[in-house]
Amino acid sequence: MFSNSLIELDRAHLVHPVSSYRSHERMGVRVLKSARGATVTDATGHHLLDGFAGLWCVNVGYGQESIVDAATKQLRELPYATGYFGLGSEPAIRLAAKLAELSPGDLNHIYFTLGGSDAVDSTIRFIRYYYHSKGTPQKDQFISVEYGYHGSSTAGSGLTAIPVFHAGFGAPFHWQHKIPSHYVYRNPVGSNSQAIIDASVGALRAKIAELGAERVAAFYAEPIQGSGGVLVPPVGWLTAMHAVCKEHDILFVADEVITGFGRTGPLFACEEDDVTPDLMTTAKGLTSGYVPLGAVFMSDNVYNTIADGAGKADVGHGYTYSAHPVSAAVGLECLRLYEDGLLDNGRRAGKRLMAGLRSLADHPLVGDVRGRGMLAAVELVTDKARKTPLPPEADLARRIFDRAWNNGLVIRAFANGVLGYAPPLCCTDEEIDGIIERTRRTLDQTLDDKDVR
Ligand code: PMP
């Protein structure tokens, strides 16, 4: 059979991202075949609501013909143009200008990458160059937050604070440091917003004091921590952390790879806290996953310091596919779709999603429901009063994922029993209700499992 032979070829040849290679070989791949709107269809003809927008990226939904047209037109006209030698292409220039216009504050300078990991990696290089240009190269220590995810490049994976990205890889490096997360549901100081903000501010100040402010280059934060389990900080957290950085002349980097492009309501999540970072990283929703593209946003100060520091010399950072014209054409069309109603729809659907998920709070397995806009999580526990996590036996997350799949729903089931939601912003009310109904069915079925009681 067609899909059986594909499973064999996959097993023999395709190395999958972030997976247990041996478990994957045993279970075999599930081949996705087509998609429309918020629905994906696998090779067996099974239709599923995509509650995770691929990998929190297909914000505009599948099958947007205007994107296909924009990409096709660009492929015909000019499929490639380098940015080296002073060359460029119209879509890349227009997209950079549009992003500068739409982003907060003076983030006026855009460097395009292929995705989020190389966007984060680029910021590390730009930041080092920035301090060399300023004549303070000793500022070379980087701080990020436990449970944070900043990609899996060689340097970026050390800013990431999720164990599987470190173990066996020699990460993090000695210049990469962490402070505890705000993780409201499990914060040792309790759930009071101000107490949590104070604890984070205290931890950042303590880390800066330990390292010496004159050695600290930058602090990285996601406005909402995504891959760590959709951890939503109290309102004001970002502002408070930003203020500590300003006080100590430390660059503040907002990693908006997940939260950017309408995922949490506004175009960028840091707008919610009225924070303008010094650098911002984006990817995913920028092209909604139709083609690869990421972007680093730099403030006037960061860009001009680097430019002046280099003088006539080349700033030696770049890729063959920086500012790819086809990706840029897709990015421009995605931005048009966001402005043309998708952001509004996402805000409306986000309210329904959060209300729906909160209605699951009465379920015996649900310990916490959290989120903002179309980015949410349900944290499962076996004992609500004690907040006992699901037993860490392997495969429980997999079992829940499989069950949801059989119920016609794609969600992210994190190993610690957190279910992640990031549906396309185009979702209808019926689709949101379907996500909630299928989740409840999946939870009910899981309640029958002996090992989760
Ligand atoms: N930063 C954040 C906040 C992310 O969520 C991700 C990906 N999930 C990345 C960086 C890395 O992006 P990519 O997978 O496109 O390399």
Residue spans of the domains in the chain: they are 31-64+339-452, 81-323
Residue nearest to atom 14 of ligand 1 (CA): 116
Looking at the domain 31-64+339-452, which fold is it?
Aspartate Aminotransferase, domain 1 (3.90.1150)
Q: How far is Cα 19 from Cα 415, in angstroms, rounded to an integer? A: 12
Please count the other Cβ atoms lying within 10 Å of the Cβ belonging to residue 300.
12
Q: In the prediction, which pLDDT does 452 show?
A: 75
Dihedral sign from CA coordinates of 313, 220, 225, 272: negative
CA of 410 to the centre of ligand 1 (A): 19
**Which amino acid, residue 123?**
T
Give the chain's residues under pLDDT 70.
Answer: 1-3, 394, 453
Distance CA 136, CA 157 (A): 25
- Which ligand 1 atom is nearest residue 115's CA? 15
Which residue bears the tokens 């009681």?
453
List phi, psi (to 5°) of 136.
-125, 60
CA of 257 to the centre of ligand 1 (A): 6
pLDDT of residue 394: 56
Q: Distance (Å, rounded) from C-alpha 416 to C-alpha 238?
A: 26
- Our answer on whether the CB atom of 120 is closer than 6 Å to any ligand 1 atom is yes
> Any residues with CB less than 8 A from the CB of 294 and at least 6 apart, and which?
112, 113, 114, 115, 116, 118, 119, 257, 281, 282, 283, 286
Q: What is the pTM of this model?
A: 0.98
| Cis-peptide into 424, omega within 30 deg | no
Beta bridge partners of 110: 297
Q: Which atom of ligand 1 has the smallest separation from the CA of 259?
A: 3
Q: What are phi and psi of 421, to 5 degrees?
A: -130, 130
Structure confidence at residue 395 (pLDDT): 77
Q: How many other C-beta atoms can be found within 10 angstroms of the C-beta atom of residue 188? A: 8
| Neighbouring residues of 438: CB distance < 8 A, sequence distance ≥ 6 | 49, 404, 407, 408, 409
**Measured in angstroms, how far is the CA atom of residue 386 from the centroid of ligand 1?**
32
Ligand 1 atom showing the smallest separation from residue 292 Cα: 15
Mutate to test the pocket of ligand 1, among 123, 162, 257, 259 (most ligand atoms within 8 A of CB): 257
Query: What whole-number distance in Å separates Cα of residue 361 and Cα of residue 209?
Result: 41
Residues 6+ away with beta carbon under 8 Å from 113: 119, 122, 283, 293, 294, 295, 296, 319, 322
- Taking the centre of ligand 1 as the mean of its atom positions, its distance from the CA of residue 118, in whole angstroms, is 9
Query: What is the position in ligand 1's atom list of the atom closest to the CA of 55?
Result: 8
- Which residue's C-alpha comes closest to atom 13 of ligand 1? 116
Q: Which of 425, 440, 215 is nearest to 334 (CA)?
A: 425
- Between the CA of 151 and the centroid of ligand 1 the distance, in Å, is 5
Asked if 136 and 130 count as a contact pair (C-beta separation under 8 A), the reply is: no
Is residue 263 lining ligand 1, measured as CB closer than 6 Å?
no
Q: What is the pLDDT of residues 183-214, one digit of tens each?
A: 999 999 999 999 999 999 999 999 999 999 99
**Residue 223 carries which DSSP code?**
S
Q: What are the angstrom distances between the C-alpha of 169 and each of 118, 140, 144, 152, 165?
A: 18, 21, 18, 10, 7
45 C-alpha to center of ligand 1: Å?
30
Distance 149 CA to ligand 1 centre (A): 7
Does ligand 1 have an atom closer than 6 angstroms to the CB of 116?
yes
The third-level CATH classification (topology) of the domain covering 81-323 is Aspartate Aminotransferase; domain 2 (3.40.640)
User: Virtual CA dihedral for 53, 54, 60, 63, nearest 10 degrees?
Assistant: -120
